[in-house]
Structure 1
Amino acid sequence: MEKGYDFIDIKEQEVVRGKEIKAIYYGTSRDKILIWGKGMYLPKASEEIENMFHFE
């Protein structure tokens, strides 16, 4: 197994897709889990993660 991270820019995806993103799932269409839904609380990323992805 490998430790990895995925990054989804919701605002960019809304522009590309031309519609509002209301939920993000991870996995396949048969085996998926909700990782974010509109209005869901998300904790702030740690400084280590922000530095890894160069968040501003």
Structure 2
Amino acid sequence: MAFWEAKFEANVARDRDVRRRLRREGWDVLVVWECETEKPERLRRTLGAFLGEKR
């Protein structure tokens, strides 16, 4: 159990750092979780809003 907890915490920290670096370099970041792909119409709206605001 300790192995997986440590692995999860390391992944969370890594992802947070990557998002920070991307933002510092001028990128906009949108995180899409796999479970969000189960509702395609909602995902389309989310992506459309994210991309539409940048145009």
TM-score, length of structure 2 as denominator length = 0.27
Q: Which has the higher strand share?
A: 1
Structure 1 or 2: more helix by fraction: 2
Give the structure-1-normalised TM-score.
0.26
Indicate the structure (1 or 2) with the bigger Cα radius of gyration.
Answer: 2
